[in-house]
């Protein structure tokens, strides 16, 4: 059933994109997005909690894995009155923000609300893209071309 | 053996209040904010994150404030904090090849796909004190330029050399369990994954000195800096309840790859070898020193003559952790009255015996 699988992959990619935006959003941006999505009540499936994830690298960048060091991560899990469950895992220690993101993840899973959630997060994507471009422009100004001087023969 | 003491509670409480006052300094001067430390002492914060082995900028900045800027004390606070938190698991491996670059330089190639960008660097500054910084004032805004078309894709330099077989490949990921020295005490000989974990959290000064020693002849490996890249990478984690990789956000890291002395044997054609360094934040000196020491520690594996301090993994790994080192050195200042009393009595007895023996000889 390749069609079912590919549509499943697309849905997962879209959900991950929403999760990525929530992770990068400022708390105020998530509050605004949630207000715009007319969120119903949500109960905690698991109260927001801060813990650690061990960040792994690869030897040589592409080889065997090793443990670089830990990162603080905050997670939340909620259930909407309609039954959908939402999850969030974010870098940092902001429990309120993780809970907001978990609610948005749950809302996104309601097919009739999916686009509203994505629209509500569009300003986050726009800010991120603007910041990325601004940083890329400042970095590009430091691009360097070194010339090698001929070594003298004597 | 250390024998504990009792008492001193009132003096200790007062000392801590005095510490709080000393930390604050002159009340006429505005108090420093954690956001100011995180933003304006950024490289110090990066070092606390790297050696504290915990990426959390605000926490590292707060630790520095609490520690009055004492780096190792701040690392101590961060390490103590992490022991209070549950571990959710391990991330998917970071893809440094997909890094959003803030800086990328190579000492081996002038022309690289993706180009070289200096980023915010102290390199090529004159190291003259800038007295203008003592007076508050806005700095000149950063220059801007249109990114070149090839800037979006910048493969690792070692991947380019690897295409021609001129350089060894990275050790393959065969799915072996990843060693974790925060869970199991280090056992020697340690594999390269554990060595890199220890070096990543190791004291920058110690690792730097060891790296320098290899350059001066104590375990020479002829390094070139193939590439240093600084920037942000996505970090992902697969929670059990979801079963797919969840994007957690972006982490700032610095990676250094060295290209070292070639190595060959009857069976293998000569080719360059490599050392690897990776650290949180913009930690260039640390990543470079780590890569040099990583390569030096491969002496056995590559059949090189050993014997230099930087090649001795027990010496390097057992002493590179600033927290362990400071714990053992600094415990010496705590009361050792019982130990010392025992030694005092021993010396008195030995002196009495010595005096007796001398007198007998004289008689």
Mean pLDDT of all residues in A124-140: 97
Highest mean pLDDT among B8-12, B133-137, B263-267: B8-12
Whether residues B68 and B186 fall in one domain? no
Q: What is the pLDDT of residue B306?
A: 87
Whether B119 has a pLDDT exceeding 50, the answer reads yes
Q: Does B146 touch chain A (CB under 8 A)?
A: yes
Whether A4 has a pLDDT exceeding 70, the answer reads no
Q: Which residues of B318-329 are buried (b: 16+ CB within 10 A; e: fewer)?
A: ebbbbbebbeee
Q: What is the pLDDT of residue A1?
A: 41
Whether residues B238 and B194 fall in one domain? yes
* Inside any domain, residue B87: no
Distance CA B70, CA B50 (A): 15
Over chain A, what is the mean pLDDT? Answer: 92
Whether residues B188 and B303 fall in one domain? yes
Over chain B, what is the mean pLDDT? Answer: 94
Whether B6 has a pLDDT exceeding 90, the answer reads no
Whether residues B152 and B241 fall in one domain? yes
Given an 8 Å threshold on Cβ–Cβ distance, is A54 in contact with B171?
no
Whether B254 has a pLDDT exceeding 60, the answer reads yes
Q: What is the pLDDT of residue B215?
A: 96
Q: What is the pLDDT of residue A5?
A: 57
* Inside any domain, residue B91: no
* Inside any domain, residue B28: yes
- B-proximal residues of A, 5-24, CB under 8 Å: 12, 16, 19-20, 23-24
Whether residues B205 and B281 fall in one domain? yes
Mean pLDDT of all residues in B98-117: 92
Identify the residue among A8, A19, A24, A69 best suited for mutation to test binding to B, counting B beta carbons within 10 A and taking the highest: A69
Of the two residues B112 and A23, the one the predictor is more confident about is A23
Mean pLDDT of all residues in A2-26: 86
Helices A95-108 and A2-24 cross at an angle (nearest 10°) of: 150
Of the two residues A147 and B356, the one the predictor is more confident about is B356
The number of domains in chain B is 3
Note the Cα B196 to chain centre separation in Å.
Answer: 10
Host domain of residue B357: 336-362
Distance CA A67, CA B330 (A): 28
Q: Does B267 touch chain A (CB under 8 A)?
A: no
* Inside any domain, residue B131: no
Whether residues B240 and B347 fall in one domain? no
Given an 8 Å threshold on Cβ–Cβ distance, is B85 in contact with A66?
no
Whether residues B42 and B165 fall in one domain? no
Is the separation of the CB atoms in B38 and B58 below 8 Å? yes
Mean pLDDT of all residues in B18-32: 97
Mean pLDDT of all residues in B143-163: 87
Q: What is the pLDDT of residues B41-83, one digit of tens each?
A: 999 999 999 999 999 999 999 999 999 999 999 999 999 999 9
Chain B's closest residue to A61, CA to CA, is: B96
Mean pLDDT of all residues in A15-33: 97
Q: What is the ipTM of this complex?
A: 0.94
Q: Does B17 touch chain A (CB under 8 A)?
A: no
Find the length of chain A: 154
Mean pLDDT of all residues in B104-126: 92
* Inside any domain, residue B348: yes
- Whole-number percent of chain A with pLDDT over 70: 92
Whether residues B209 and B279 fall in one domain? yes
Residues 6+ apart with CB under 8 A from B35: B58, B61
Whether A3 has a pLDDT exceeding 60, the answer reads no
End of a domain among B34, B59, B82? B82
Q: Does B201 touch chain A (CB under 8 A)?
A: yes
Q: What is the pLDDT of residues B211-248, one digit of tens each?
A: 999 999 999 888 999 999 999 999 999 999 999 999 99
- A-proximal residues of B, 106-125, CB under 8 Å: 110, 115-119, 121
Does residue B249 come out as left (phi exceeding 0), alpha (psi in the -120 to 50 range) or beta? Answer: left
pLDDT-based confidence at A2, cuts 50/70/90?
A: very low
Whether residues B75 and B190 fall in one domain? no
* Inside any domain, residue B58: yes
Is the separation of the CB atoms in B221 and B295 below 8 Å? yes
Is the separation of the CB atoms in A125 and A23 below 8 Å? no
Q: What is the pLDDT of residue A151?
A: 66
Whether residues B227 and B265 fall in one domain? yes
* Inside any domain, residue B280: yes
* Inside any domain, residue B103: yes
Whether residues B189 and B62 fall in one domain? no
- Chain A nearest-CA distance from B96, in A, is 6
Whether residues B219 and B77 fall in one domain? no
Given an 8 Å threshold on Cβ–Cβ distance, is A73 in contact with B237?
yes
The full 3-state SS of chain B, as one line of letters, equals CCCCCCCCHHHHHHHHHHHHHHHHCCCCCCCCCHHHHHHHCHHHHHHHHHHHCEECHHHHHHHHHHCCCCHHHHHHHHHHHHCCCCEEEECCCCCHHHCEEEEEECCCCCCCCCCEECCCCCCCCCCCCCHHHHCCCCCCCCCCCCCCHHHHCCCCHHHHHHCCCCECCCCCCCCCCCCCCCCCCCCCCCCHHHHHHHHHHCCHHHHHHHHHHHHCCCCCCCCEEEEEEEEEEEEEECCCCCCCCEEEEEEEEEEEEEEEEEECCCCCCCEEEEEEEEEECCCHHHHHHHHHHHHHCCCCCCCCCCCCHHHCHHHHHHHCCHHHHHHHHHHHHCCCHHHHHHHHHHHHHHHHHHHHHHHHHHC
Q: If you ran DSSP here, which 8-state letter would residue A93 be given?
A: S
Q: Which of A12, A66, A69 sits opposite B55 (nearest CB)?
A: A69
- Whole-number percent of chain B with pLDDT over 70: 99
């Amino acid at each position: 059933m390749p069609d079912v699988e590919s549509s499943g992959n697309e849905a997962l990619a879209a959900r991950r994109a929403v999760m990525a935006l929530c992770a990068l959003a400022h708390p105020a941006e998530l509050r605004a997005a949630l207000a715009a999505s007319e969120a119903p009540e949500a109960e905690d499936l698991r109260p927001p909690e801060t813990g650690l994830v061990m960040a792994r690298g690869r030897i040589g960048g592409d080889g065997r894995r090793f443990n670089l060091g830990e990162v603080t991560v905050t997670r939340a899990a909620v259930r909407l009155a309609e039954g959908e469950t939402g999850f969030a895992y974010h870098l940092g220690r902001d429990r309120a923000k993780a809970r907001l993101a978990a609610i948005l993840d749950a809302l996104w899973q309601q097919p009739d609300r999916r686009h509203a959630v994505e629209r509500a997060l569009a300003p986050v994507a726009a800010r991120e893209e603007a910041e990325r471009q601004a940083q890329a422009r400042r970095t590009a100004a430091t691009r360097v071309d070194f010339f090698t001087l001929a070594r003298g023969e004597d | 053996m250390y024998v504990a003491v009792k008492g001193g509670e009132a003096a200790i409480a007062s000392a801590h209040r005095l510490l709080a006052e000393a930390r604050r300094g002159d009340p006429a001067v505005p108090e420093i904010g954690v956001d100011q430390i995180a933003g304006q002492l950024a490289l110090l914060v990066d070092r606390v994150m790297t050696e504290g082995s915990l990426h959390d900028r605000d926490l590292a900045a707060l630790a520095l404030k609490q520690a009055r800027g004492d780096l190792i004390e701040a690392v101590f606070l961060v390490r103590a904090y992490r022991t209070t938190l549950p571990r959710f698991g391990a991330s998917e491996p970071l893809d440094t090849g997909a890094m959003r670059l803030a800086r990328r330089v190579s000492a081996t190639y002038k022309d690289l796909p993706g180009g070289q960008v200096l980023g915010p660097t102290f390199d090529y500054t004159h190291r003259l004190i800038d007295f203008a910084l003592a007076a508050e004032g806005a700095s000149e805004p950063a220059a801007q330029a249109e990114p070149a078309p090839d800037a979006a894709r910048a493969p690792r330099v070692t991947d380019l050399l690897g295409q021609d077989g001129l350089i060894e490949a990275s050790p393959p990921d065969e799915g072996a369990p990843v060693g974790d020295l925060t869970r199991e005490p280090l056992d020697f000989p340690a594999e390269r994954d554990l060595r890199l974990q220890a070096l990543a959290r190791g004291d920058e000064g110690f690792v730097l000195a060891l790296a320098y020693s290899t350059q001066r002849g104590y375990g020479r490996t002829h390094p070139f800096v193939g590439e240093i890249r600084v920037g942000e990478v996505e970090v992902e984690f697969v929670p059990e309840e979801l079963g797919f990789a969840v994007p957690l956000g972006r982490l700032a890291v610095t990676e250094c790859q060295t290209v070292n002395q070639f190595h060959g044997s009857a069976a293998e054609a000569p080719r360059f070898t490599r050392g690897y360094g990776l650290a949180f934040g913009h930690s260039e000196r640390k990543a470079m020193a780590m890569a040099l020491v990583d390569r030096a520690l491969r002496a056995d594996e590559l059949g090189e003559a050993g014997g230099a301090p930087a090649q001795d993994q027990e010496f390097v790994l057992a002493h590179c952790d600033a927290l362990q080192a400071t714990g053992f050195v600094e415990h010496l200042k705590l009361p050792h009255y019982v130990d010392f009393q025992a030694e005092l009595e021993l010396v008195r007895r030995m002196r009495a015996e010595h005096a007796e023996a001398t007198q007998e000889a004289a008689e």
